[in-house]
Amino acid sequence: TPKEVTIEKDKVYKTDEWMNTPSTILSAIPRRLHLQQDHPIAITRQLIESRFPNYKCHNTLFPVVTVEQNFDSLGFPADHIGRSRTDTYYLNKDTVLRTHTSAHQADTFRANESAGYLISADVYRRDAIDRSHYPIFHQMEGAMTWDRDSLDASTSLKQAVWADVAKIPAHSIDVEDASPTSHPERNPLQECHSAEEVEAIAAHLKRSLEDVVVAIFNAASRAAVAAGETPASPDEPLKVRWVEAYFPFTSPSWELEVFWQDDWLEVLGCGIVKQDIMSHAGVPNRLGWAFGLGLERIAMLLYSIPDIRLFWSTDARFLSQFSSAAPIRRFVPFSKYPTCFKDVSFWLRSSSSAAGGLSRNALSPVDFHENDVMEIARDVCGDLVEDVRLVDEFVHPKTGRKSLCYRTNYRSLERTLTNDETNQLHERFRQQLVEKLGVELR
Ligand code: PHE
């Protein structure tokens, strides 16, 4: 690993044994798809922003943040899985690529520039490889707060919030909201909030986000009709539902799901901001809500984009199909190129063979994590790998050694790969598994 990394020409970070960010990820940082003119991620962002006219938009916040910003400030416990090097890209022990836009919550509340704000940004997570997961994606975070101090003597906070609720446009969709706003064990109120205050803030949150979903799905069904398709259910109105959720930084918390193509689809997470965050941010008298959503997921259903890798394509056959000036139209796939799968089987290192053997990293010499296989595949194949899946697992009855078999699908979205090319990719993938993970090929 290099001793230091430079990001965006002048930001230099010292690396240490926590560094696990490959150069392929670092070099994608400047892409900023959410700011690229006429890119579907940018258009989706603008569509949502247009539903929050008085909110301040932050769209250029820098992706390298501290562990404090990404986790500590939000109340993530010390042993939370999200903090592990298998899930998060570190530059050093104290510095990560943000895993979510919530990393900027505390700072944005502290700046206290506007009651409502939106943050759109690239976020980074080590994860599986398939058509809906990519190690870089884009989120939008939103928040609205009310200040107890700025109310006049005759108005209570809940009255002020309900007055704002009345200003949100009405809709006629079918909303299912079966659980109570809060629940003493499953989804508790915070001690410093009254049930009536939370009821009002939750109503504002839910109405605001229902309005967003209506705007998105109306645009999606107009696109479907324009493409000559019958929308999934022409006579039925859009159905959404609120379900209880958990996040370390909100309570109570909820998720919004939308009934889409015969299934409930999770579109966003949200809740009442923990008062601790406000206090630490120097605005103890503000309270309110926050939400976070994934822009790729929404763009994929808005445009019927079948594979998340397409967002990274610079091919005109992809990019020319989107325009912020025209109504949203379905993406028309250019011909689908053939796929080719190959398997690799290997024995995992056992503790005894690792003792004197290769040490992949100082922190966890024998641990095997699937995300490491995924990352090697990305590193070797870039966007030519469509998905990587565990297809077989076997434990030797005598030695107790474990063997895994992964199936890799190779496909370019832009051309047909030659046999030679896939063979070479696969061979390099196999060699890197040995070199970086110390496995033994079968
Ligand atoms: N940051 C959360 C995520 O990435 C989403 C979220 C944002 C939830 C704000 C609640 C409030 O899953």
The whole-angstrom separation of Cα 326 and Cα 181 is 40
The whole-angstrom separation of Cα 381 and Cα 24 is 11
- The confidence score (pLDDT) of residue 351 equals 63
The H or E element spanning position 431 is helix 419-437
The whole-angstrom separation of Cα 289 and Cα 268 is 13
- The distance of Cα 405 from the centroid of its chain, to the nearest Å, equals 28
Q: What percent helix, strand, coil does the chain show, rounded to 5?
A: 35, 25, 40
Q: How far is the CA of 392 from the centre of ligand 1 (A)?
A: 34
- The confidence score (pLDDT) of residue 274 equals 98
Q: What is the mean pLDDT of each run of 10 residues along the chain (442 residues)?
A: 89 97 95 98 97 97 98 97 97 98 98 97 95 96 96 93 95 92 96 96 97 90 84 68 97 94 90 98 97 96 92 96 94 90 93 45 61 96 96 94 96 94 97 96 95
Domains assigned to the chain: 32-63+98-319 (3.30.930.10), 340-441 (3.30.70.380)
Ligand 1 pocket, mutate which of 100, 105, 201, 295 (most atoms under 8 A from CB): 100
Six-digit token string for 429: 């993938």
The whole-angstrom separation of Cα 17 and Cα 15 is 7
Residue nearest to atom 5 of ligand 1 (CA): 292
Closest ligand 1 atom to residue 292 Cα is 7
ipTM of the complex: 0.98
- The confidence score (pLDDT) of residue 367 equals 81
- The confidence score (pLDDT) of residue 355 equals 40
Residue nearest to atom 4 of ligand 1 (CA): 100
Residue nearest to atom 6 of ligand 1 (CA): 292
Q: How far is the CA of 69 from the centre of ligand 1 (A)?
A: 14
- The confidence score (pLDDT) of residue 234 equals 53
- The confidence score (pLDDT) of residue 232 equals 57
Q: How far is the CA of 358 from the centre of ligand 1 (A)?
A: 38
Six-digit token string for 202: 């939750």
> Ligand 1: residues within 6 Å at CB?
100, 102, 141, 247, 250, 269-271, 290-292
Q: How far is the CA of 182 from the centre of ligand 1 (A)?
A: 18
- The confidence score (pLDDT) of residue 334 equals 86
- The confidence score (pLDDT) of residue 359 equals 42
Q: How far is the CA of 294 from the centre of ligand 1 (A)?
A: 10
CB-count exposure of residue 395 (10 Å: 0-12, 13-18, 19+) = exposed
The whole-angstrom separation of Cα 358 and Cα 340 is 32
Q: Which distant-in-sequence residues (6+ apart) come within 8 Å of 7 by Cβ?
A: 13, 26, 29, 64
